[in-house]
Structure 1
């Protein structure tokens, strides 16, 4: 159930209770139920509740109500949080135990109403009974920020990862303090974190780190290792998408916790494919064939779009296409179904660009140009959303998170999702499955954080990465989750069919880290490719010259 459905079901129960005067002259009160409904509703709405206001809501004499409040506390149904530095004033919050009990009650109520067929609760008729896959509302942080304290968090400025005002307000209420979110664009985030590392003391308590940058920041001492501060943390690493979790480990140490993952997928218009009886593309050859048929510029329909703007977009595009042809951009050891990324260390790794597979990836990019949307060579991270919204493109290589920006558009309802098609190579001895290169962000702690802030920063990361809070983030527009349990939550799956598709890819092991490996020189190699590959696509130099120049420049980095 969504938060709105929970609130509306509470209001239904409150209305039913208010009808009691119609059948009994001296109504019998149930103060525990009344106070539980009152407290749960205010918690979901983000309103503070005091012991006095909770007692006043009980519909019994005040002294009786205060005894019931004490009873709720003794039963572990409520948590108290100090409201002042003196600690003499408290706010009251439902404990995880009460949240679980109330959620079960509200879901059972919604199911009963739906089964009766006489009414709806919330905006949708309930479709299912309560089950273990449902993740409830987030409880308050057990280690609150404390009265008058704040938390400085650097996040990426991206519509898919928007920490907007409603979400910030809710997070502040739950964390019991003032969290301030500072935004940086995708392209400026790395430099902002590096600049911050040069300060005597970090201006941020927590920073969002693009997964491939973990290695660079760990090697340069920009991030603090989390192993010691995490201590006896209850985080269940097996609940995280394995490639995302591995991406936060470098040289045997943990440097971050995945918060939002973002695999790059193939979006395709299943209706256009079906109309022409074209099968979904699972190889690059099939993709080019389909794109040529569906590329009809005369009616404003284009075969394919992808991010080929100069710099990071086209540099990363080459790296990901290279992976489609079965090769990472660095010399990694092979493993089952791919390449090893779990034992990377400070040792420099050789870039692999001017190779046979590099030539195949470059040729594929040139072939794509002939069936691509106009201005593809200036197509940045945000460029494809309008094309997809307007139904002007049949196929798009796009980050999964962007799907959340397509809600409500008719063309978006016809989209389906696949991992990247495989690059076919004659005589390839290694069987390969399609992969979806993983992107996304982890929360880490700057190494120059004030020592007295370290524990607070870790407590915040641990709480934000809980299933309940991750579900909250996804429901505010992320549409991608690093936790398998959240991907299985029926409420989350109803947000978009893409969520189920990504969840299935994760469970099949198709979301992989090795196409964008955590190697310290990754960002520098992307910058080189972003210049050289763009010059190639612009017709300024040949494939051979491009790959040779890229290889020579990348070799000089070590």
Structure 2
């Protein structure tokens, strides 16, 4: 190696990967960055229950990342993530557990092997910490956190919005023989949720087994299961129009006592969705998927045909007929018109758009009373 300067590059600071000169910081920018680092350190010490002797921040980062991704954390993997010797890391983990930040949950009945999870207290601390650091980032980049744009970028949702915290794992594994059994709808939303199975299994501490059915087969399966002495399923997906029938026949279990017992927070569900899963004053379901139907048009096709966007049903039909040309592979309109439930859903949406329920429900202050319907009110 030579001590002579490298003549191939001009002197100055370089990006270590690209070997291109780094832009210089102004004194103001560098001063602002130093202030940020100082406040960042202060916020870290203030917000998180850290014992500096065991490199706990690195262990907490690993634990929180695995929790959010639904990956398993063991004492060995957490010790490896710390970069410390196993003995030192083990003492650090025990210290964090004693402070109530980590839950240690047996993976087997013998309890010889355990999994580690962030406690609700740790999750709450990290949420508060993230919120405070986001507030510091605004001034660093010259954005006022109090401004509307700053609030959207750095402070998250509006104050009126409620977002429920990421769920913590159960302190004790859910004891269900054969695991948790679900009867679900074989549609894209539920299939996407199937990818979260690993994370949910981590939260509950057991295996989850789902049986997926088409929408009409799903109702048939629920009714068939109701005739059994013992249910095959712990949870079932239920379409909103079915709640009245299934609840009135005693097929679904009311959830109110469980909601009260666990102080379950329903505030991040749309109020109408929560209301739709009630019948005769009792809650029978938790909203999972609410579906609107949207009517959209192609501006380019309308412009090419020199047609104005329709604003009434009559205009819509006229425009659709003008554009309808199956010989060229073009159809005037596409909609959910398959026999059975898909067509029923669309019919319900269209009726609602014109301010009418599909049955003769009684009007009330907020629209129509669907929870107490009986007699003539059930007539189409």
Q: State if a TM-score over 0.5 links the two structures.
A: yes
Go from structure 1 to structure 2 and tell me whether the alpha carbon gap of 1:224 and 1:267 turns closer, same or farther (over 3 Å shift). same
Give the TM-score, by structure 2 length.
0.69
Distance in 1 of aligned mates of 2:338 and 2:284: 31
**Residue 74 of structure 2: which of 50, 57, 60 is its match?**
50
Retained in 2: the 8 A contact 1:82–1:146? no
Question: What are the superposed Cα offsets for residues 88-116 of structure 1, whole Å, 9 maximum, x if unpaired?
Answer: 5321112344345556767959x96xx88
Instruction: Flag structure 2 segments of 5+ consecutive residues without an equivalent.
Output: 1-51, 142-151
Note if 1:87 corresponds to 2:114: no
Q: Residue 162 of structure 1 aligns to a residue in which SS?
A: helix
Partner residue in 2 for 1:219: 248
Distance in 1 of aligned mates of 2:360 and 2:377: 6
Distance in 2 of aligned mates of 1:104 and 1:299: 58
Partner residue in 1 for 2:147: none
Retained in 1: the 8 A contact 2:310–2:319? yes
Q: Residue 128 of structure 1 aligns to a residue in which SS?
A: helix
Partner residue in 1 for 2:60: 36
Partner residue in 1 for 2:153: 128
Distance in 1 of aligned mates of 2:238 and 2:68: 30
Partner residue in 1 for 2:277: 248
Partner residue in 1 for 2:291: 262
Shift of 1:315: 4.1
Q: Residue 265 of structure 1 aligns to a residue in which SS?
A: coil
Go from structure 1 to structure 2 and tell me whether the alpha carbon gap of 1:300 and 1:71 turns closer, same or farther (over 3 Å shift). same
The structure with the largest alpha-carbon Rg is 2
Equivalent positions of 1:183-198 (< 5 A) are 183-198=212-227
Give the TM-score, by structure 1 length.
0.49
Distance in 2 of aligned mates of 1:235 and 1:278: 52
Partner residue in 2 for 1:438: none
Note if 1:199 corresponds to 2:242: no
Shift of 1:36: 1.3
Note if 1:300 corresponds to 2:324: no
Note if 1:313 corresponds to 2:342: yes
Shift of 1:304: 1.0
Question: What are the superposed Cα offsets for residues 245-282 of structure 1, whole Å, 9 maximum, x if unpaired?
Answer: 12211111111111111122223335545667866555
Partner residue in 2 for 1:181: 210
**Residue 66 of structure 1: which of 90, 98, 102 is its match?**
90
Partner residue in 2 for 1:422: none
Retained in 2: the 8 A contact 1:32–1:68? yes
Higher RCO by CA contacts (8 Å cutoff, separation 6 or greater) = 1
Partner residue in 1 for 2:352: 323
**Residue 230 of structure 1: which of 259, 263, 267 is its match?**
259
CA RMSD of aligned residues (A): 3.6
Distance in 1 of aligned mates of 2:281 and 2:366: 22
Instruction: Flag structure 1 segments of 5+ consecutive residues without an equivalent.
Output: 1-27, 117-126, 353-558
Go from structure 1 to structure 2 and tell me whether the alpha carbon gap of 1:48 and 1:239 turns closer, same or farther (over 3 Å shift). closer
Go from structure 1 to structure 2 and tell me whether the alpha carbon gap of 1:247 and 1:137 turns closer, same or farther (over 3 Å shift). closer
Distance in 2 of aligned mates of 1:45 and 1:288: 48
